[in-house]
Structure 1
Amino acid sequence: MRKMLTIISNVLRGSASRNGAELVSESSTLRAVLQLLAVQSEYANLTAPHDHDPDPLSRLKDAQPHSPLASPPLTQIPPAEYKDLGHTNSGQALGHLGPHNRPLTDVVSSEAIAQKESYVEPLMTSGSSISEEINVVPPLTERVSEKEKPIFEKIISPVIDVSPSPVLITVKLPNPAASPAQLSPAVANSSSSVTSTDPHCPPPAESLLGLDNSFPEITHSLAGETPFPEPQLAGARVVVSARTYADFTPQASFDIKKCDVHKLEEGPPLQAVLTREEGLQYYRTMQTIRRMELKADQLYKQKIIRGFCHLYDGQEACAVGIEAGINLSDHLITAYRAHGYTLTRGGTVREIMAELTGRRGGIAKGKGGSMHMYTKHFYGGNGIVGAQVPLGAGVALACKYLGKNELCVCLYGDGAANQGQIFETYNMASLWKLPCIFICENNKYGMGTSVERAAASTDYYKRGDFIPGLRVDGMDVLCVREATKLAAEHCRSGKGPILMELQTYRYHGHSMSDPGISYRTRDEIQEVRSKSDPISMLKDRMLSNNMASVEELKEIDVEVRKEIEDAAQFATTDPEPPLDDLCNHIFYNDPPMEVRGTNPWTKLKSIS
């Protein structure tokens, strides 16, 4: 192209030396035209190696005045000629797109190279994309003087169309700050797969946005999948646009582990349907329980939380799955590992954390602590091993006596499963056909003893003997939900109680005084965390089925952490309850008569 510009410059200087009075002689003009055609033919061969034209004059005969020379379509150019679309004249690339690092001007059209000079002008557009327009400087006719223009046009016009249409390249990239609902399955898979609608363009090796593979996939669209016009020296258009992403999958079906059954004709279904809204809700609740328990561990080690404290991290799928299978109008009672159920039953993180630290804003006014939290239709954690089971049977008896279509869920651990009062409760509930779901949370260890060393039979779902039973994967929230739905339907239909065993795992020790590694290994804990973690299992399902994006779940994590930190701040600054409040809230309401010994210390005042 430098040769062409040199020839044109020589012709102009030759014409100017004759003071512009005469035009260049016909022989000089013909020689200049022939040289230009030769240079043009050489350049055409460089840009289109599959189209060899030995006779440039034959092409000139067929060409009409002020029309571009015939050139091969851009789609016939080998892939290496146009698959790198990420570079600008500043030397910076949007991303590595393959082994060939050719500049943008190699891709566009011949006039972009012929005119040599270009500049990049980034334009911020509305919407979720960024456009960069690369405008070529005005053509040669605008850079010659008025005197020289007639001479220049007489020589050049029959050969090259010098119309001033610019070259426009629009590159649209997804906005990293786009709303989560606009992101794609590639985000859900934490990887960016770049595809192309052009069969000649192989997919690049990495993301257009560099090493961060958390952005959506990007599709190259060649002019709306229509063939490109033949490249013109005066103007061409190449468009690389972002794919239009579909909405997230509203719901999906997942295979779940088969439950073992006892005295039941069939167990829960082997597939569970999960909607996007349910998945996000389950994920948020489980993350909240996990972070809340980790913060409680931290505060306990700082001696801000004192006394008994039993953490629930690792068992989140049990609480969330059970809650998803029953109604808020149903009743629930559990043992001392109660923080998660307090949250699912309607308590707030702030109330739970303040109760752990014994503050006035706690869910039990700061007087219950870790093992004694209560909400509506939730009768707490209970400190006596197994004592909550007969209490729950009493609640179920009240539901039946009052004729309400409600039930009671009684939870206990594998250690409490050997208590005699539990077997007595089985017998009464079966005789009276109470709407009661007995649930044994089998986390493999009692206070410090494995289930194999504590029980002759570890099939806890069969312990009811005459009561039907289910053994469920307690690390899968969907499996727990489906089993709970079946159990609830069994109770509501008047068939009496049912027993469920949830096989789960606790990451912490039995309580804060138990390091949890004297009777089990760290490798065992780590293996469960890596293979069966309930939060990771739900997250992988949602991402792999385009039900959420990585950014969306990360945003939930950030919100949960902030909520936990705010609650911890409140739990350490809220005042303690006054001493004269000690005897209040003993009864749910005022007793109908004076009860001796219930109100003797009301005159005591706190001096602190």
Structure 2
Amino acid sequence: MPQTPHPNDLTGLYAQMLLVRTYENAIVAGSTAGKVPGTCTSVGQEAAAVGIVNALSGDDLILTNHRSAGHLLARGADPGRLLAEVMGRSDGYCQGMSGSLHISVKELGVVLTSTIVGAELSMATGVALAQQMQGQLGIVACFFGDGAACEGSFHESLNLASLWNLPILYVCENNHWQAFVHRREANSRDHVADWAASYRIPAATVDGNDVSAVLAAARQARETIRETGRPYLLETLTYRTRGHFEPDDQAYVDPAERNAWLARDPITLCRQQLIDSGRLTVATADALAARVEDRIATALAFAENSPYPQPEQMLRHIYA
């Protein structure tokens, strides 16, 4: 497994969050212009994704969901190849056949992206069992949202992981919205982490908009898994500030709630922390943002110049 980027300083984490946000903003702009298919974004959740992934080792495996851009980019995925995949082009990670909702990157340990709510939870136990039976050192990080925690697969997965002592880091990115339904309308608890105790699984809840807090909590969780060989559930409290799917006008969202979370935007908070501590100036922060913009512009040009798959590729990976 090749080495993946692990920034040791807040500036590196900030740069990764900027990359994720800029990448997804490019998708939003492309979708609005009719150049990029509509997809699910994770705008507002960057600290949760970046903090968790940077706590993992190169031997660890990842199973993620339909809001996967942050996990993939933090793991070291090339934004050009990701954009090519979203746009259905041959130079994408899956030759343009997965779109944004099913990307897998074997060389980075990203086993799958699942668009079926909770499906990655069902498969995490099997992947972790395989790791265990083969004597692999890595753990399995399984990302899901608060909506998936309302699925039966969540409880089935936790039950088996506890029973079989599987090295799984369950990561609930609690972003308060389950498609177009607020978590209060579908979830009997405020915290998904509360369910872990029923299965004798340790759990913690962390401010998902504070990248340093997420990184520290995830490192502690991974260390616990390695010491005990048992699963752990980490809940990151964050907020999805764009709609369920692009385009989506979010007419169903309480503006006061959204504005309160926008005031705690993880990238804005991290930028201010870096400036206040003297690690960045306004000028160097702006220069960093400009470099990220240039990188995404280059990635977008790469994707747009990538060819579409040939017709005969439709018959590949088909089993009958």
What TM-score results when the alignment is normalised by the length of structure 1? 0.50
Which of 367, 372, 380 is residue 112 of structure 2 equivalent to? Answer: 380
TM-fit CA distance, 1:462: 1.3
Find the structure with the greater CA-based Rg: 1
- What are the equivalent positions in structure 2 for 1:229-378 lying under 5 Å apart? 278-306=9-37, 309-375=39-105, 376=107, 377-378=109-110
Q: In structure 1, the residue corresponding to 2:54 is in which secondary structure?
A: helix
- What are the equivalent positions in structure 2 for 1:29-68 lying under 5 Å apart? none
C-alpha distance in 2, partners of 1:494/1:277? 26
Q: In structure 2, the residue corresponding to 1:373 is in which secondary structure?
A: coil
Q: Is 1:347–1:363's contact at 8 Å kept on the other side of the alignment?
A: no
TM-fit CA distance, 1:380: 2.6
Query: Which letter maps to 1:502?
Result: T
Shift in alpha-carbon separation, 1:574–1:385, aligned structure 2, 3 A: same
Which of 489, 492, 497 is residue 226 of structure 2 equivalent to? Answer: 492
**What's the CA shift string for 1:514-537, capped at 9, x where partnerless?**
32232322x43233222x111122
C-alpha distance in 1, partners of 2:314/2:172? 35
Segments of 5+ residues of structure 2 without an aligned counterpart are 1-5
Query: Which letter maps to 1:336?
Result: H
Aligned residue number for residue 3 of structure 2: none
TM-fit CA distance, 1:298: 0.9
1:441 lines up with 2:181 in the alignment? no
C-alpha distance in 1, partners of 2:7/2:165? 37
Q: In structure 2, the residue corresponding to 1:396 is in which secondary structure?
A: helix
Shift in alpha-carbon separation, 1:276–1:330, aligned structure 2, 3 A: closer
1:525 lines up with 2:286 in the alignment? no
**What's the CA shift string for 1:97-134, capped at 9, x where partnerless?**
xxxxxxxxxxxxxxxxxxxxxxxxxxxxxxxxxxxxxx
C-alpha distance in 2, partners of 1:550/1:529? 21
Which of 241, 251, 265 is residue 507 of structure 1 equivalent to? Answer: 241
**What's the CA shift string for 1:447-497, capped at 9, x where partnerless?**
111111111122210112221111111000011111111110111112411
- The runs of 4+ residues in structure 1 deviating greater than 4 Å are none
Query: Which letter maps to 2:194?
Result: K
**Structure with higher helix content:** 2
Aligned residue number for residue 432 of structure 1: 164
- After superposition, the CA RMSD in angstroms is 1.8
Structure number with greater CO (CA < 8 Å, separation at least 6) is 2
Q: In structure 2, the residue corresponding to 1:334 is in which secondary structure?
A: strand
- What are the equivalent positions in structure 2 for 1:549-588 lying under 5 Å apart? 549-584=281-316, 586=317
**What's the CA shift string for 1:262-282, capped at 9, x where partnerless?**
xxxxxxxxxxxxx99622211
Query: Which letter maps to 1:528?
Result: W
C-alpha distance in 2, partners of 1:293/1:492? 33
Aligned residue number for residue 114 of structure 1: none
Which of 402, 414, 423 is residue 155 of structure 2 equivalent to? Answer: 423
Aligned residue number for residue 540 of structure 1: 272
C-alpha distance in 2, partners of 1:350/1:502? 28
Q: Is 1:436–1:491's contact at 8 Å kept on the other side of the alignment?
A: yes
Q: In structure 2, the residue corresponding to 1:374 is in which secondary structure?
A: coil
C-alpha distance in 2, partners of 1:487/1:598? 40
Which of 457, 468, 474 is residue 189 of structure 2 equivalent to? Answer: 457
C-alpha distance in 1, partners of 2:95/2:285? 34
TM-fit CA distance, 1:403: 1.6
- What are the equivalent positions in structure 2 for 1:178-197 lying under 5 Å apart? none
Aligned residue number for residue 393 of structure 1: 125
Shift in alpha-carbon separation, 1:276–1:315, aligned structure 2, 3 A: closer
C-alpha distance in 2, partners of 1:367/1:318? 28
% of aligned pairs identical? 29
Segments of 5+ residues of structure 1 without an aligned counterpart are 1-274, 587-596, 600-608
What TM-score results when the alignment is normalised by the length of structure 2? 0.92
Q: Is 1:437–1:487's contact at 8 Å kept on the other side of the alignment?
A: yes
Q: In structure 1, the residue corresponding to 2:141 is in which secondary structure?
A: strand
Query: Which letter maps to 2:176?
Result: K
Aligned residue number for residue 115 of structure 1: none
TM-fit CA distance, 1:583: 3.1
Q: Is 2:59–2:137's contact at 8 Å kept on the other side of the alignment?
A: no
C-alpha distance in 1, partners of 2:34/2:174? 30
Q: Is 2:10–2:212's contact at 8 Å kept on the other side of the alignment?
A: no
Q: Is 2:124–2:157's contact at 8 Å kept on the other side of the alignment?
A: no
1:413 lines up with 2:145 in the alignment? yes
